[in-house]
Amino acid sequence: METQRFVMQNSGASLVLLDNDGIRVCQLDIKAQWSIGRWDPIRAVTPDISFTSPIVSREHGWISNVDGQWYYVDNPQNLNGTFHNGYKIPRPMAGQRRPVPLENGDILRIDNDDLDHVNRNGVLMLFTTAQVHGEWATCSLQRVGSMYIGRDASCRIREEALYFSARHAKIKAVRGQYYLSDCGSMAGTYVNGQQVQGTHLLREKDCISICDSNYFFLGDRLLYCQRDREMEHQILCETTPSLRPVVLRADIATKRVKNNSGSGMKELIRDIHIEIKEGTLVALLGTAGAGKSTVMNCLNGMDLEGVQGAVTYRGVDLMKHFDQMSYLIGSVPQEKIFHEKFTPEEEFELAAKTRLPARLSRTEIRERVDRTIEMLSLQGVRKNWNCKLSGGEKTRVNIGIELVADRELLCLDEPDQGLSPNYKLEVFQIMQELAHSRGKSVEEFMEEDERMKVAAMRKVASSQGKTILSIIHDVSHIDMFDQVIMLAKVDGVGRLAFSGSPEEAREYFGVDIKDAYALLEREPERFVR
């Protein structure tokens, strides 16, 4: 097995190359156009992305970025053509080009016309915008009988993220064919976006997905990235929030629902174009009726019915694959969802048992509960009844019910509602720490006990880099937020008025943010984008 370590750039567009020479990774964002072809020592010019395989033509094609969208263009003069996601790209007319738009997880392949009988010199190119750190590797399925993917030490591909079950998915070889089944996991197993029910026969180029982890089936092996999640969190926390990669993107032309007060459809929001970076604290503001809850429920994938456009999380389209990604997204409602006669400790233990995969040991559950209590600064009241807690503490318990399951994206609906100024500040500080704080350093953990190295890294990782989107009304502490999204109501439809930092918001509106509400009420058309 050959691997190549790499570190993604912010936009994360890369091409993973697989041929007889092993695995290589090309980071595409370095420039806008790349030539693809066969390396020829006699020629003076070498393609940007070169292969030694004789099945690849000297000038086989190009990959180009146009206005932020990547495309593959096949050279009509190449010998064998190119497959895109298993379908042969049609030959264009002489002198023409047919750009093929590329999306995260797309596979380009140069091979025989009959992919049921692949050429041993065939090459594969995986286009990915997944911003992960680790090593690309292949896992051979030949002569293994059965193999598992999961958290257990017995798994052939072992993953440590909490959304994996001990034995999450199984691949079994039967007379030269390979069958995939889910092992009763909580997060589910998906093939090409469809959840696996029962046994699924794998076919060349199938993409097996478990939340945001992907495994590409290549006939007799899997291509996947062995992610270094501790490194991902470490790099994220050492990066200024403004320079962190975009993790959530919305390009919503409109959202319409049935008009309950009359015939036809009613438009709720229009032209919502938002980018949210990983590990940032984002405030969602707006005038009355501007669609704050509607936009929130689009961004978290909870209500995308009637939406024209796209919402993606980690490059995955939530409109098509929300079920696959839902395990990474937590929504905390305005109303209290905890049990009055439970303690925070009991509340989080129940949440851990119901929201985390089965077969977690009591020790693992206890560690997760303790860590959640520590992250929310509830150590002093962990054994007090929830009904006896202060307003700020109750809000933190509400957040902790989702946090205990290690959700990456937390969407909060007015967590400051009904709180006194002191408690509001307390809640905002906790939210800021969840997004930014390093918590206790690895060195501090190691000083306590050298044997806790691995556990220390996991604890540090679990306290960092949450992306938090929150509807708020009180902007007294708005500078604690990295990004402000402000909505306005124009002709009864919610519109985007601003998205940027608090300082940029003051410059854009020409007044303090608390005074921008009045401007948006008087003349919203002036500010909508």
Question: Mind listing the pLDDT tens digit for each residue in 373-423?
Answer: 998 999 999 999 999 999 999 999 999 999 999 899 999 999 988 889 999
Residue 141: the pLDDT is: 93
CATH 2.60.200.20 fits 134-227, yes or no: yes
The separation between CA 17 and the C-alpha centre of its own chain, rounded to angstroms, equals 23
Per-residue pLDDT at 437: 55
**CA-CA distance, 59 to 72, in Å (whole number)?**
13
Q: Tell me, which fold does domain 1-129 have in CATH?
A: Tumour Suppressor Smad4 (2.60.200)
- pLDDT computed for residue 44 by the predictor: 65
Q: How crowded is residue 350: how many other Cβ atoms within 10 Å of its Cβ?
A: 16
Q: Are 495 and 269 in contact, with CB atoms under 8 Å apart?
A: yes
Could you say which architecture CATH assigns to the domain 246-335+411-526? 3-Layer(aba) Sandwich (3.40)
Q: Name residues of the chain where pLDDT drops below 50.
A: 1-10, 438-462
Domain ranges of the chain: 1-129, 134-227, 246-335+411-526
Task: Enumerate the H helices of 326-477 as residue ranges.
Answer: 344-355, 362-375, 391-403, 421-436, 442-448, 453-462
| Cα(168)–Cα(178) distance, integer angstroms | 17
Tell me what pLDDT residue 453 has.
Answer: 39
Would you state the pLDDT for residue 186? Answer: 92
Q: Which residues pair with 158 in a beta bridge?
A: 150
Q: Confirm whether 1-129 and 246-335+411-526 share one CATH topology.
A: no
pLDDT in the model for residue 291: 95
Q: Which of 72, 110, 111, 108 is nearest to 92 (CA)?
A: 72
Note the pLDDT of residue 117. Answer: 74
